Amino acid sequence: MFIGHYAVALAAKRVAPRTSLGTLFAATSLADLLWPVFLLFGWEQAHVVPGPNPFLTLWLDSIPISHSLITLIGWGALFAYLYRVRTGDGRAALVVALLVVSHWLLDYVTHRPDMPLYPGGTPWGLGLWNSVTGAVAVGVGGIDIERDGALPGRALPETALSVTAWPESALNASPATPHSVTPFPVTPHSN
Ligand SMILES: [Zn+2]
């Protein structure tokens, strides 16, 4: 599920060109960066479910602090405030805030119903990951967004990064580390 968040971050580079990709990635993925910490503290709960669908091995029982819409708006405001203080760029700070909140929309589309609007609220989710075909379609769509949204001359390695990260996220492994990324052509099957 990482690729969709990466795609949104890359697309946002167009409206916040001076913001580093690291910051944009951190903004769209903030919920997923916070979630393992809250899991360690016991504030959120999840368990592993063995099954044939590689996208659904992790069952998120309760993720109200990292992933509810209300708390994501709060995290977005906090992230944007810190970014604004650090850079003085109000417009980019607004983009960063929206990117943090965008995580909810994307996870709402892909997750089974485990995305609450507020802590304690009814969890929502369209469950696109229930369909491997649908998941692959989102992945390919994500690559298209990246190719459109990335800066000229930087598109290839960044697209390669996301493509490398995607199958690993599908297996619930850690995201690709930079030294494991090997750039490759985006359209390898041209023959
Ligand atoms: Zn998430």
Distance 81 CA to ligand 1 centre (A): 22
Domain assignments of the chain as residue spans, ordered by start: 2-180
**68-93 pLDDT, tens per residue?**
999 999 999 999 999 999 999 999 99
| Residues across the chain | 191
Check residue 21 and give its pLDDT: 96
Longest dimension (CA), the chain: 53
Here the tokens at position 153 are 């001359």
Query: Burial level of 110, CB count in 10 A (0-12/13-18/19+)?
Result: buried
Here the tokens at position 84 are 């604004």
Distance 137 CA to ligand 1 centre (A): 18
Distance 123 CA to ligand 1 centre (A): 13
Distance 74 CA to ligand 1 centre (A): 16
Check residue 86 and give its pLDDT: 97
Distance 128 CA to ligand 1 centre (A): 14
Residues with Cβ within 8 Å of residue 185, at least 6 apart in sequence: 156
pLDDT lower than 50: segments of the chain: 146, 149-191
Distance 51 CA to ligand 1 centre (A): 20
Distance 82 CA to ligand 1 centre (A): 22
Check residue 57 and give its pLDDT: 74
Residues with Cβ within 8 Å of residue 98, at least 6 apart in sequence: 76
DSSP 37: H
Spatial distance between the Cα atoms of 64 and 56, rounded to a whole number of angstroms = 19
Distance 120 CA to ligand 1 centre (A): 17
Which of 30, 35, 26 lies closest to 62, judged by CA? 35
Distance 185 CA to ligand 1 centre (A): 28
**93-121 pLDDT, tens per residue?**
999 999 999 999 999 999 989 999 999 99
Report the relative pairing of strands 45-48 and 58-62 from DSSP bridges: antiparallel
- Global pTM reads 0.69
